[in-house]
């Protein structure tokens, strides 16, 4: 459908006060931000401390993605699979028609053309988001290549339409609230066959910035399945050794495993360098040379603020020193931002405004920043932003890492025997829940390929697609696949591995393995490092970090067998064979 026809159709449905076609200019951003400052939605931060930056806080019930209200509406229920919520597309459209009828009354309807991926990449895709939220416009400007340039590419390509409303129409004369949303009536809906997105009732993050999770993962994964590529929840880093040789790794981790920290790592090993291509999403295609190439479809970081510090991620701290939007962090007296894990607050520190916008009481036992508080910032501001991130052809991937947070059983690092075994490792990703995520603490949660909330089709078919991708190239050209776990604990509950910059020691081994150099020892679960470079570290129990407890792993096999059964006849044979083979090696 031509863009103009679609805009008219949505305007007729939603009845906005006016329509604004976004050009993506800095002037437009500044004008919208100024209006939001006037209405009190945004607070400008201290220009001497955090230039061109803003603080805002959401409604207390609109603070995260809402998986229970997220739907994949394929014609057949089985095509959404056992891990997604499903509703019949016609039935869902009836619901949406009612919801969206008149939903933008009294508001401006913004039309946001945007490009996911470098502007001139053959792998990039165009989306258009219609929204009644100026907060969404500002965030989309940072997170995507937004505006006129994307619009120019639009005639040539078909676009992915997305309609978003906060779900709070204004009656004539009615005063708006700072963060309009409709927490009792939220719908994040995907029509994979029609390639359309509809989102209602939330103004926050992945619910509202439709280019990210909705398009670049859920819709893109269905496109990738059809077209023979991969849309993955992965960071992308460049890694250069002291000899100046450079490789690229992609890595998938469930939430609360420090993906952004790894994407911006400062190596402790002298002479090694990490550069950041992306911290969240990778679109990967095979090149004519048989190698797998990745682009980052995003142009910014929508990162979790709490826990980010000059100790855990100095590059992120420098990235967000200016031109950043902060959502749901705490505000200091001198109009700067603060969050748990940034630095120790002393008793004499000046008072804070909490993320709720009220004076913070440290004695309340509650955090000053919401645990899922975010910064939105352009990727270009990262001091280690990789120039190759703008390469339209993408970067060649030498290794794929999977990982999870596991206190025991899973060694620091091991290598898969081959592609199919690596796909099995991806499918077996699980993580122990932390205090930051809801649900019981320390419980094991399966999150295959870290894609559980983001796969737009049947996850069994997704596993089969990964196996199929391995048949598109020869084994020596395919990326090697690894499993890592930074989070093992000793019997006293202390972390066994220092993590963070010292993870460069693990990356070094992987780098050398992909160079046919580093040495490995076969174990029943995969290939373990013969040793790691531990220069400058003391008291590391490497034997324990790399040990394989056969009984624990047999238990792991039983657990996985139970999980795989969830996928019924959509589970590819190849995965069950890998599980059987693992059990066989453990029983030998
Ligand atoms: O991000 C993390 N990484 C990856 C870094 C590149 N985190 C934070 C996870 C929450 C988002 C980690 N936490 C890592 C890690 O490698 N490891 C740990 C566990 C850990 C925490 C503290 C210490 C050691 C390990 N040491 C001290 O606090 C002194
Ligand atoms: Mn993510």
344: confidence class by pLDDT, cuts 50, 70, 90: low
SS (H, E, C) 463-489: HHHHHHHHHHCCCCCCCEEEEECCCCE
72: confidence class by pLDDT, cuts 50, 70, 90: very high
347: confidence class by pLDDT, cuts 50, 70, 90: low
Give the integer Cα–Cα distance in Å for 550 and 588: 10
Q: Which atom of ligand 1 is closest in space to residue 260's alpha carbon?
A: 1
Residue 435's pLDDT is 66
Give the integer Cα–Cα distance in Å for 422 and 401: 9
Predicted confidence (pLDDT) at residue 437 exceeds the cutoff of 60 = no
The CATH class for the domain spanning 3-41+68-226 reads alpha beta
**120-125: average pLDDT:** 97
**0.95 exceeded by pTM:** yes
Looking at the domain that runs over 231-300+386-548, which CATH code has it been given? 3.90.228.20
Residue 436's pLDDT is 55
Q: Which residues line ligand 1 (CB under 6 A)?
A: 256, 258, 261-262, 265, 307, 486-487, 495, 498-500, 503
DSSP assignment of 384-439 equals: TB-GGGG-TT-EEEEEEEEE---SSSS-SEEE-SSHHHHHHHHHT-EEE--TTSSS
Q: Which atom of ligand 1 is closest in space to residue 499's alpha carbon?
A: 16
Q: What is the pLDDT of residues 186-208, one digit of tens each?
A: 999 999 999 999 999 999 999 99
Q: Which atom of ligand 1 is closest in space to residue 495's alpha carbon?
A: 25
Query: CATH 3.40.449.10 region(s) of the chain?
Result: 3-41+68-226
Least distant ligand from the CA of 314: 1
Q: What is the pLDDT of residues 231-259, one digit of tens each?
A: 999 999 999 999 999 999 999 999 989 99
Give the integer Cα–Cα distance in Å for 146 and 142: 8
Task: Give the lowest-confidence range in 114-118, 378-382, 433-437.
Answer: 433-437
Give the integer Cα–Cα distance in Å for 228 and 22: 33
Q: How far is the CA of 31 from the centre of ligand 2 (A)?
A: 30
Query: CATH 2.170.8.10 region(s) of the chain?
Result: 301-377
Residue nearest to atom 1 of ligand 1 (CA): 258
Least distant ligand from the CA of 303: 2
Active site residues: 257
Structure tokens at 380: 């270009």
* CA angle at 160 for the pair 154 and 165, rounded to the nearest 5°: 115
Q: Which CATH number fits domain 301-377: 3.40.1480.10, 2.60.220.30, 3.80.10.10, 2.170.8.10?
A: 2.170.8.10
Residue nearest to atom 5 of ligand 1 (CA): 500
């Amino acid at each position: 459908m031509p863009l103009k026809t679609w805009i008219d159709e949505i305007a007729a449905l939603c009845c906005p006060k006016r329509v604004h076609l976004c050009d993506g200019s800095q002037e437009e951003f500044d004008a919208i931000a100024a209006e939001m400052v006037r209405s009190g939605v945004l607070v400008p931060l201290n220009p001497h401390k955090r230039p061109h930056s803003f603080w805002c806080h959401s409604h207390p019930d609109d603070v995260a993605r809402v998986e229970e209200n997220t739907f994949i509406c394929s014609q057949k229920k089985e095509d959404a699979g056992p891990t997604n919520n499903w509703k019949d597309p016609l039935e869902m459209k009836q619901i949406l028609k009612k919801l969206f009828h008149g939903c933008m009354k009294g508001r401006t309807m913004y039309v946001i053309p945007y490009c996911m991926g470098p502007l001139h990449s053959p792998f990039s895709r165009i989306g258009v988001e219609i929204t009644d939220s100026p907060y969404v416009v500002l965030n989309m400007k940072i997170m995507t290549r937004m505006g006129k340039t994307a619009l120019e590419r639009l005639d040539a390509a078909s676009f992915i339409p997305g309609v978003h409303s906060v779900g709070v129409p204004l009656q004539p004369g009615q005063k708006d609230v700072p963060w309009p949303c409709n927490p009792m009536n939220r719908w994040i809906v995907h029509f994979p066959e029609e390639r359309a997105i509809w989102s209602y009732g939330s103004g926050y993050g992945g619910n509202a910035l439709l280019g990210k999770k909705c398009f670049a993962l859920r819709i893109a994964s269905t496109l990738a399945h059809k077209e023979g590529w991969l849309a993955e929840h992965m960071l992308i880093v460049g890694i250069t050794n002291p000899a100046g040789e450079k490789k690229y790794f992609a890595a998938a981790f469930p939430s609360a495993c420090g993906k952004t920290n790894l994407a911006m790592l400062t190596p402790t090993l002298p002479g090694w360098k990490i550069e950041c291509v992306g911290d969240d999403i990778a679109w990967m295609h095979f090149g004519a040379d048989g190698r797998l190439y990745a682009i980052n479809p995003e142009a910014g970081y929508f990162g979790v603020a709490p826990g980010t510090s000059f100790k855990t991620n100095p590059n992120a701290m420098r990235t967000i020193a200016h031109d950043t939007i902060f959502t749901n962090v705490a505000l200091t007296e001198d109009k700067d931002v603060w969050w748990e894990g940034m630095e120790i607050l002393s008793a004499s520190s000046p008072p804070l405004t909490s993320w709720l916008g009220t004076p913070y009481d440290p004695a309340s036992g509650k955090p000053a920043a919401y645990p899922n508080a975010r910064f939105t910032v352009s990727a270009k501001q990262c001091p280690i932003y990789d120039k190759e991130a703008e390469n339209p052809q993408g970067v060649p991937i030498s290794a794929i890492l999977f990982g999870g947070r596991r206190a025991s059983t899973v060694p620091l690092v091991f290598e898969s025997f081959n592609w199919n075994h690596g796909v099995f490792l991806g499918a077996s990703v699980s993580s122990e829940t932390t205090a930051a995520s809801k649900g019981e603490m320390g419980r094991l949660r399966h999150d295959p390929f870290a894609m559980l909330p983001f796969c737009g089709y049947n996850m069994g078919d997704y596993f089969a697609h990964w196996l199929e991708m391995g048949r598109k190239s020869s084994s020596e050209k395919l990326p090697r696949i690894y499993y890592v776990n930074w989070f093992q604990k000793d019997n006293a509950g202390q972390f066994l591995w220092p993590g963070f910059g010292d993870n460069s020691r693990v990356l070094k081994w992987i780098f050398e393995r992909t160079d046919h150099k580093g040495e490995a020892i076969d174990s029943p679960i995969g290939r373990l490092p013969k040793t790691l470079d531990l220069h400058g570290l003391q008291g590391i129990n490497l034997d324990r970090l790399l040990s394989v407890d056969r009984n624990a792993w047999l238990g792991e096999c039983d657990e996985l067998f139970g999980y795989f059964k969830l996928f019924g006849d959509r589970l590819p044979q190849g995965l069950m064979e890998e599980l059987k083979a693992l059990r066989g090696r453990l029983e030998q």
